[in-house]
Amino acid sequence: MPRSDQIDDKQNKLGKARRFQGASLRDVAKLAGVSVKTVSNVVNNYPHVTEETRMRVQRALEELNYRPNLSARNLRNGKSGLIALAVPEIDFPYFSELARLVIKVAGERGYTVLIDQTGGARDREKLVLAGIRPQMVDGIIFSPIETGKEDLLERRDDTPLVLLGEGATDGILDHVGIDNVKAARVAVRHLLDLGRRRIAAIGAQPGVVVQTGHLRLRGYYEALQEAGIGIDQDLIARAPVYHRHEGAEAMRKLLELKDPPDAVFCFNDLLALGAIRTLINFGLRVPEDVAVVGFDDIEEASYSNPTLTSISPNKEQIARIAMSMLISRMEEGTTTPPREEQVDFRLIARESTLGVRCQEQVVYDSLQEDKARNNSALMEG
Amino acid sequence: MPRSDQIDDKQNKLGKARRFQGASLRDVAKLAGVSVKTVSNVVNNYPHVTEETRMRVQRALEELNYRPNLSARNLRNGKSGLIALAVPEIDFPYFSELARLVIKVAGERGYTVLIDQTGGARDREKLVLAGIRPQMVDGIIFSPIETGKEDLLERRDDTPLVLLGEGATDGILDHVGIDNVKAARVAVRHLLDLGRRRIAAIGAQPGVVVQTGHLRLRGYYEALQEAGIGIDQDLIARAPVYHRHEGAEAMRKLLELKDPPDAVFCFNDLLALGAIRTLINFGLRVPEDVAVVGFDDIEEASYSNPTLTSISPNKEQIARIAMSMLISRMEEGTTTPPREEQVDFRLIARESTLGVRCQEQVVYDSLQEDKARNNSALMEG
DNA sequence: CTGAAAGCGCTTACAG
DNA sequence: CTGAAAGCGCTTACAG
């Protein structure tokens, strides 16, 4: 039996030097004195291999520290086992929390996740749709910001793709999200229930209509209308990016109004945390002077000071459903019309609306559809 | 010239049905009436192609919507253009901020990043060292938690790997980090300078010695010793995981001491934010009653209430150096001894030590080595 | 400037 | 139960 150091060095066989790739099936087969097929059988745990042969092959695999070449395997199998998660920026807490779950769920299903950061820029998002990293990934989970309906319709690439978060994709592609309008309505209604009447909104977005910001704004309108309160355009603040800084800026402007708000509904938690920062800088009390509600329920919402009332979408459900949809396209090649799925959400009330030292309360649960159910998870134990 | 729909359907040529892979170079060559080599030349922008031929090929590429098969290209080239970033959990703010930068820098250098989450568990970390996803990635950037020196020495896999964050890797592998001992010393000295004398530490870790926690604790000891203050073991709180919850718990225990601390140095920002949450719940004022310093300078530190004084490592520098080190191993096959690089860090003092409404100040900058330089970035504009 | 052919490492009918 | 051979799609010396 040849020793491992007698295996020809591939560097010599190739014209050009190349990083040594490790042992191949052929090397192992040679060392074990069997055919490549048999080694492959052992590696892939196929039956029909004599125990003795198996042992011999195992030893050879060990000795050569064999590692299958995934590029070759993928080429042969026509798939890579890789999916892309395309998000604006991975360090937005909402996206990093979602990414953790997507990576976890994908791992359970045998997939590896690579991350694409679009920065929420339309041209980078178009690249995602056009098939960035062609045939490197079997599928894509995509959380767009600026992508519009036209962009989706123009798409030529046929890599399976599931959309996340956006509101109206009009059944062009598989999509999983939450009922943004309803969630926003629930959030604003909570403020109304607490007696607030001058309720501001932070996070309206200029331009494109097919967007999260638009839907949440609609929910805001509907809640106020239901309560018979007129819309004051001065109370609606824009935010091109949903980050702390923009929330702080927007709040500052709202405080300059001659009749400033007594509550503010922010279209995500980062905006809300920025807004709170401004309120505190101005010496105002939250929620006594201004109550604040956020959206996303990132972990920080449970620890900020004050803790933040927020709409809490079921993120694990988002990850699971997105992955299931994607797998059914990737593996089963499903060609049914695009599916639209909505996940559960809750409104979790905390100090920023209930007051200091209040217990955390689940004020609304889309799963239960009954209000004021008190989950009584005593805050901080 | 044959039309695209005359290209044989591969499904028929293969025994088993398989997801249609799109057009290959061969298909394009056939359609354009040239050889595969010529198409390859066009695709890869090689010179020596007649303008006319190039046009013809371009048109064929367009018509068939050709996308190179990266598995095949990688197989042929012996590399994948993929690197793995292995971190405990992507949604720890420090790691998501780092990931954003690594993905950005990698992209600039032509690499795609896939994420491995180890959960900080030793067996999962061992898998990373052993070559999880064999030959799928050209290199690995690895931020270990429980990996010890023995694990590094045992490693058989030869995929280029750069370690992040850990303190003492004893030159076994390339490593980039900061001077943890010194940074911790700077942090504690800051508290001493403010007149604090009962300074607690949160984040000591049981077990393994080669760990961040150990080094930061040493810096804490050294600072106290320099100031002639004895060590009180009661003031040293453990934290198995560096998360908000553990910080809150640890702080609670410290407050139960008959002689509670007047300051606390937390080994990362999340611990500090958890600690602050507890302090506020107990009706204590930060920093008047207890001053708090964190470590990492995650973005939340600039917006928390109070804003958080923290050690700020140069994360972009970490990402850039790690990527450079990795590339020199991957592309140049450098076989020089492992390198050890330390990046700059600063101590940025904010409200949690300076008091409410104080300006943010750079109290220490390892690059300048001069104290009390006032950067005067007026907080909140 | 272009073409024919080999080979990267794998899996899989097809024989035996 | 095992082997010989084809082919996934690409790149690259080697000819011409």
Between A and B, how many residue pairs show a Cβ–Cβ distance under 8 A?
165
A63 touching B (Cβ < 8 Å):
no
- Fold match, A80-178+316-342 / A180-313+344-365: yes
| Cβ-contact A56, A29 below 8 angstroms | no
Q: What are the domain boundaries of chain B? A: 4-68, 78-177+316-342, 180-314+344-365
Q: What is the pLDDT of residue B189?
A: 97
Which residue is nearest nucleotide C11, judged by alpha carbon to C1' distance?
A: A76
The predicted-structure confidence for B75-87, as pLDDT tens digits, reads as follows 888 888 899 999 9
Query: Which DSSP letter does residue B8 get?
Result: P
Pairing verdict, β B161-164 and B174-177: parallel
CATH value of A180-313+344-365 in 1.10.8.10, 1.10.760.10, 2.20.28.120, 3.40.50.2300: 3.40.50.2300
Pairing verdict, β B361-365 and B345-349: antiparallel
- Cβ pair B93:A97 closer than 8 A: no
Q: Which residues in chain A show pLDDT less than 50?
A: 1-20, 370-381
- Tokens 């700059």 label which residue? B344
- Tokens 């010793």 label which residue? B225
**DSSP of B84-128:** EEEES-TTSHHHHHHHHHHHHHHHHTT-EEEEEE-TT-HHHHHHH
Q: What is the pLDDT of residue A379?
A: 36
- Cβ pair B68:A157 closer than 8 A: no
CA of A8 and C1' of D2: distance in angstroms?
Answer: 25
3-state secondary structure of B305: coil
Q: What share of chain B in percent tops pLDDT 90? A: 58
Q: What is the pLDDT of residue B356?
A: 87
3-state secondary structure of B34: coil
The predicted-structure confidence for B342-379, as pLDDT tens digits, reads as follows 999 999 999 999 998 888 999 999 988 644 444 443 33
Structure tokens at B117: 């989450």
Q: What is the pLDDT of residue B66?
A: 86
Mutate to test the interface with A, among B10, B66, B96 (most CBs of A within 10 A): B96
Residues facing strand D, Cβ within 7 A: A 15-16, 33-38, 41, 47-50, 53, 72, 75-76, 78; B 10, 13-14, 21, 24-26, 36-37, 40-41, 43-44, 66, 68-69, 72-73, 75-77
Structure tokens at B265: 């140095």
Q: How many helices (H) and strands (E) does chain A have?
A: 14, 13
Q: Which of A100, A133, A248 comes nearest B90 by C-beta?
A: A100
**DSSP of A335-367:** -SPPPEEE--EEEEE-HHHH-TTPPBEEEEETT
A121 touching B (Cβ < 8 Å):
no
Closest alpha carbon within chain B to A111? B133
Question: pLDDT higher for B146 or A104?
Answer: A104
Fold entry, domain B78-177+316-342? Rossmann fold (3.40.50)
- Cβ pair B69:A91 closer than 8 A: no
CA-based angle A295:A300:A304, to the nearest 5?
A: 100
Q: Which of B100, B104, B82 is nearest to B90 (CA)?
A: B100
Burial class from Cβ neighbours inside 10 Å (0-12, 13-18, 19+) for residue A230 reads: exposed
Q: Which of B91, B277, B333 comes nearest A97 by C-beta?
A: B91
- Cβ pair B93:A89 closer than 8 A: no
Q: What is the pLDDT of residue A370?
A: 44
Contacts of A357 in chain B (CB under 8 A): 281
Q: Which of A160, A130, A86, A131 is nearest to A324 (CA)?
A: A160
Just give the CATH number of A80-178+316-342.
3.40.50.2300
- Cβ pair A80:B71 closer than 8 A: yes
Contacts of A134 in chain B (CB under 8 A): 22, 67-70
Task: In whole angstroms, give the CA distance from residue A173 to residue A336.
Answer: 11
- Cβ pair B277:A67 closer than 8 A: no
Task: In whole angstroms, give the CA distance from residue B144 to residue B127.
Answer: 12
| Cβ-contact B336, B160 below 8 angstroms | no
- Tokens 């990046």 label which residue? B343
Closest alpha carbon within chain B to A70? B136
Q: Which of B81, B85, B83, B84 is nearest to B70 (CA)?
A: B81
A238 DSSP β-pair partners: A204
Interface of B with A in 309-348 (CB under 8 A): 330, 333
Q: What is the pLDDT of residue A34?
A: 86
- Cβ pair B99:A115 closer than 8 A: yes
The predicted-structure confidence for B192-247, as pLDDT tens digits, reads as follows 999 999 999 999 987 665 578 889 999 999 999 999 999 999 999 999 889 999 99
Closest alpha carbon within chain A to B304? A304
Interface of A with B in 146-185 (CB under 8 A): 156-158
Structure tokens at B28: 């394009």
Q: What is the pLDDT of residue B5?
A: 37
Structure tokens at A281: 């800088």
Nearest nucleotide by C1' from B50 CA?
A: C1
Task: Please report the beta strands in chain A, taking only residues with DSSP state E, as ranges in sequence order.
Answer: 82-87, 112-117, 139-142, 161-164, 174-177, 199-204, 236-238, 263-266, 291-295, 309-313, 340-342, 345-349, 361-365
Structure tokens at B13: 């040529």
Which residue is nearest nucleotide C13, judged by alpha carbon to C1' distance?
A: B15
Of the listed ranges A47-56, B6-15, B29-38, the least confidently predicted one is B6-15
Just give the CATH number of B180-314+344-365.
3.40.50.2300
Q: What is the pLDDT of residue B373?
A: 42
| Cβ-contact B203, B218 below 8 angstroms | no
Contacts of A108 (CB under 8 A, 6+ apart): none
Contacts of B368 (CB under 8 A, 6+ apart): none
Q: What is the pLDDT of residue B18?
A: 38
CA-based angle B236:B237:B239, to the nearest 5?
A: 140
Contacts of B155 (CB under 8 A, 6+ apart): B129, B130, B173
Task: In whole angstroms, give the CA distance from residue A143 to residue A120.
Answer: 9
Q: Which of B319, B327, B363 is nearest to B343 (CA)?
A: B319
Task: In whole angstroms, give the CA distance from residue B170 to residue B210.
Answer: 10
The predicted-structure confidence for B36-61, as pLDDT tens digits, reads as follows 888 888 887 777 778 888 888 888 88
Q: Which of A321, A88, A106, A101 is nearest to A212 (CA)?
A: A88
For residue A63, count other CB atoms closer than 10 A to its CB: 15
Burial class from Cβ neighbours inside 10 Å (0-12, 13-18, 19+) for residue A7 reads: middle
A85 DSSP β-pair partners: A115, A141
CATH class, range B4-68: mainly alpha
Task: In whole angstroms, give the CA distance from residue B86 to residue B274.
Answer: 25
- Cβ pair B75:A71 closer than 8 A: yes
Question: Mean pLDDT of all residues in chain B?
Answer: 86
The predicted-structure confidence for B75-134, as pLDDT tens digits, reads as follows 888 888 899 999 999 999 999 999 999 999 999 988 999 999 999 888 899 989 987 776
B244 touching A (Cβ < 8 Å):
yes
Q: Which of B67, B82, B99 comes nearest A90 by C-beta?
A: B99
Interface of A with B in 12-41 (CB under 8 A): 18-22
Phi, psi of A217 (to 5 degrees): -65, -40
B97 touching A (Cβ < 8 Å):
yes
